[in-house]
Chain A
Amino acid sequence: MRLIILEDAGVVADWAARFVLQRITEFAPGPGRHFVLGLPTGGTPLGMYRRLIDFYKEGRLSFKYVTTFNMDEYVGLPRDHPESYHYYMWNEFFKHVDIEPGNAHVLDGNAADLVAECRRFEDLIAQAGGVHLFIGGIGPDGHIAFNEPGSSLVSRTRVKTLAYDTLEANKRFFGHDISKVPRQALTVGVGTVMDAKEVMILITGVHKALALSRAVEEGVNHMWTVSAFQQHPQALFICDEDATLELRVKTVKYFKALSDEHQKMIAEVPVAAQRVLH
């Protein structure tokens, strides 16, 4: 596990986007050889998407041979509702780049058979050959995607009932009316994300500080589902200074001392070499 501590949310966004750029470029996707990307929604990755759009516009990056899988979607929310993740992905990312519609997969929270929809999603990931890089954010309670505290750490894509904390936190997006927040969501499981070859978790802000400390300093615990990635062979936690406030000084110092090494990850060092050099 690597913990990359950067100045602020803007630098985190830029770093994450550069990392995606490096990984896709290194992979050199083409016809019949797609790079497979797992994608999150929410406030934290927004800056990363904007940088990726810049890279696309500058001609440095193409998504023509990139296949994407989104982590989650609310159940029963119309696709064009401004809070739906379809809406988010279309407006914040897809419509700005050259990704092909058939390669952008978002769970359908309005499917008649939600169980079948979850199975279909897992099958699609398998058909794509698995995810090369899964990007995620976390909630203040340490959930990744909608894997709320208490979720199985080997879970797969499924229907999940949302925790009260999540409804409470999200009601601000639904006119401050908790009754309007969808109660259920479709989400990839912790196990689904664990299967990815590489995982990058973005964590910014003081309100995520406790979750970050539980994720990296305590043991693997299903009450802080993101902690499962301690056992992932290639997991990156990218955070800003604010998010480190609950960490031990020793932890922060150790990872900060590695920052030169970390910078190499977004330079043109082959991925294989990066995996050995820690």
Chain B
Amino acid sequence: MKAKSGLTRFHNCHILRDSAIIKEDLWIRDGKIENPEQVFYVEQLEADETVNCEGLLIAPGFIDIQINGGWGIDFSYDCENVEEGVQKVAKKLLTQGVTSFCPTMVTSDKEKYKKILPRIKKTQGGHHGATVLGVHLEGPFISLAKKGAHMDEYIKTLDKGIKTIYEIYGSLDNAVIVTLAPELPGATEAIKELSKLGIKVALGHSTASLAQGEEAINSGANLITHLFNAMLPFHHRDPGLVGLLASSTNKQVYYGIISDGLHTHPAALRIACRTNPKGLVLVSDAVAAQGLADGNYHIGPQKVTVEGGKAYVSRTKTLCGSTAVLDECVRTFKEATGFHTST
């Protein structure tokens, strides 16, 4: 009887390596990925157990940088049991393959930020739940014309730049991403200040022209929030924020995109990822209703009705977030773009 090596070999599977999905075995020991070549030549060990994966894909944990809640929890609304709510979602997300996320707060009343934001702390993940990377603050410094499901009365201007930002949010300690509209007066300065603090600035809910978008990118912004949604549609004489995908700024622009089969047409997904494949970031933009049945919910202060899995602002046809889960988004994306796995 041979000594146990503690190694498990996943066989007959696809894995992601160097930006390609390849057919390759995966070796792990004590929860860590091992280099099988090193194990073979240096340690001269074999796996205790070989698992036949029958061609499945073993993907790294997903990272969701825009998620408003799920399983009845709304990160922008519930201010009583904030920690429990985040913990519940963190735990449930593991079942969908999400191992890190940015709890996202939509445009809210100043009081909500004061009550909720300090209580969503960055936490290391594990078996207990996905890692909380920090809060994504989506609004309130956005365009009224592209408000989507955000409430008019809480949307703010940025006239005093970073001062206004602190005034509304209070502390920025737990924030990692701020989505704002770059055409707002004071936005450029705010983007510079936020970038200095190490906070990523995303552009969204905006009527910005391409020039305004490029100025924001040159000031430190590097992300577009839910591409195509809540921004000007592509126009060939002024492509707007969508034009950033092919802009000449020489900076890599990333863009969140909701590939739930509803928010973004498959052809639009293909246009985005063929134009700028490196910048693609799939997001769920999931709301509290995710994981639950059709019915009435809310996203921040806004009432939401879910019918047939589609979340609308109640009594309207305005989409407000999704009920999608990220692993489904990955499948939809794969189908839409025809990305195939090599053998």
A and B part of one assembly? yes
Measured CB to CB, the residues of A under 8 A from B are 79-80, 86-87, 90-91, 94-95, 100-102, 104, 106
Q: List 25 A-B contacts (CB under 8 A).
A: A79-B37, A79-B41, A80-B35, A80-B37, A80-B38, A86-B37, A86-B41, A87-B37, A90-B36, A90-B40, A91-B37, A94-B40, A95-B25, A95-B36, A95-B37, A95-B40, A100-B46, A101-B39, A101-B40, A101-B43, A101-B44, A101-B45, A102-B44, A104-B41, A106-B41
Q: Which residues of B contact A101 (CB under 8 A)?
A: 39-41, 43-46
* Min CB–CB distance A34 → chain B (angstroms): 16
CA distance A189 to B44 in the complex (A): 26
Q: Which residues of B contact A106 (CB under 8 A)?
A: 41
* Min CB–CB distance A252 → chain B (angstroms): 39
Q: Which residues of A contact B43 (CB under 8 A)?
A: 101
Measured CB to CB, the residues of B under 8 A from A are 25, 35-41, 43-46
The 10 closest A-B pairs by CB, nearest first: A101-B44, A90-B37, A102-B44, A101-B40, A86-B41, A80-B37, A90-B40, A94-B40, A101-B45, A95-B36
CA distance A91 to B35 in the complex (A): 12
CA distance A106 to B46 in the complex (A): 17
Q: Which residues of A contact B25 (CB under 8 A)?
A: 95
CB closest chain-A residue, reference B35:
A80
CA distance A79 to B46 in the complex (A): 19
CA distance A87 to B35 in the complex (A): 12
Q: Which residues of B contact A80 (CB under 8 A)?
A: 35, 37-38
CA distance A91 to B17 in the complex (A): 15
Q: Which residues of B contact A86 (CB under 8 A)?
A: 37, 41
- Whether the pair B40, A104 counts as a contact (CB closer than 8 A) is yes
Q: Which residues of B contact A79 (CB under 8 A)?
A: 37-38, 41
* Min CB–CB distance A23 → chain B (angstroms): 24
* Min CB–CB distance A241 → chain B (angstroms): 31
CA distance A48 to B41 in the complex (A): 22
CA distance A87 to B25 in the complex (A): 15
CB closest chain-A residue, reference B44:
A101
For the complex with contacts A101-B39, A101-B45, A101-B46, 19 further pairs of A-B residues with Cβ separation under 8 Å are: A79-B38, A79-B41, A80-B35, A80-B37, A80-B38, A86-B41, A87-B37, A90-B37, A90-B40, A90-B41, A91-B37, A95-B36, A95-B37, A101-B40, A101-B41, A101-B44, A104-B40, A104-B41, A106-B41
Q: Which residues of B contact A104 (CB under 8 A)?
A: 40-41
CB closest chain-B residue, reference A86:
B41
CA distance A189 to B295 in the complex (A): 79
CA distance A239 to B38 in the complex (A): 35
Residue of B35, B38, B41, B43 most packed against chain A (CB within 10 A): B41
Q: Which residues of A contact B37 (CB under 8 A)?
A: 79-80, 86-87, 90-91, 95
Q: Which residues of A contact B40 (CB under 8 A)?
A: 90, 94-95, 101, 104
Residue of B37, B44, B45 most packed against chain A (CB within 10 A): B37
* Min CB–CB distance A65 → chain B (angstroms): 15
CA distance A94 to B36 in the complex (A): 11
CA distance A106 to B40 in the complex (A): 11
* Min CB–CB distance A80 → chain B (angstroms): 6
CA distance A47 to B43 in the complex (A): 29
* Min CB–CB distance A88 → chain B (angstroms): 11
Residue of A87, A100, A101, A102 most packed against chain B (CB within 10 A): A101
CB closest chain-B residue, reference A102:
B44
Q: Which residues of A contact B39 (CB under 8 A)?
A: 101
CA distance A106 to B45 in the complex (A): 16
CA distance A101 to B7 in the complex (A): 14
CA distance A191 to B38 in the complex (A): 31
CA distance A100 to B35 in the complex (A): 17
CB closest chain-A residue, reference B41:
A86
Q: Which residues of B contact A87 (CB under 8 A)?
A: 37
* Min CB–CB distance A68 → chain B (angstroms): 12
CA distance A102 to B41 in the complex (A): 8
CB closest chain-B residue, reference A100:
B46
CA distance A104 to B43 in the complex (A): 12
Q: Which residues of A contact B38 (CB under 8 A)?
A: 79-80
CA distance A80 to B42 in the complex (A): 12
CA distance A95 to B38 in the complex (A): 12
Q: Which residues of A contact B44 (CB under 8 A)?
A: 100-102
CB closest chain-B residue, reference A108:
B41
CB closest chain-A residue, reference B43:
A101
CA distance A101 to B27 in the complex (A): 15
CB closest chain-B residue, reference A101:
B44
Q: Which residues of B contact A90 (CB under 8 A)?
A: 36-37, 40-41
Q: Which residues of A contact B45 (CB under 8 A)?
A: 101
CB closest chain-A residue, reference B37:
A90
CB closest chain-A residue, reference B9:
A95
Q: Which residues of B contact A94 (CB under 8 A)?
A: 40
CA distance A80 to B39 in the complex (A): 12
CB closest chain-B residue, reference A94:
B40
Q: Which residues of A contact B36 (CB under 8 A)?
A: 90, 95
CB closest chain-A residue, reference B40:
A101
Q: Which residues of B contact A102 (CB under 8 A)?
A: 44
Q: Which residues of B contact A91 (CB under 8 A)?
A: 37
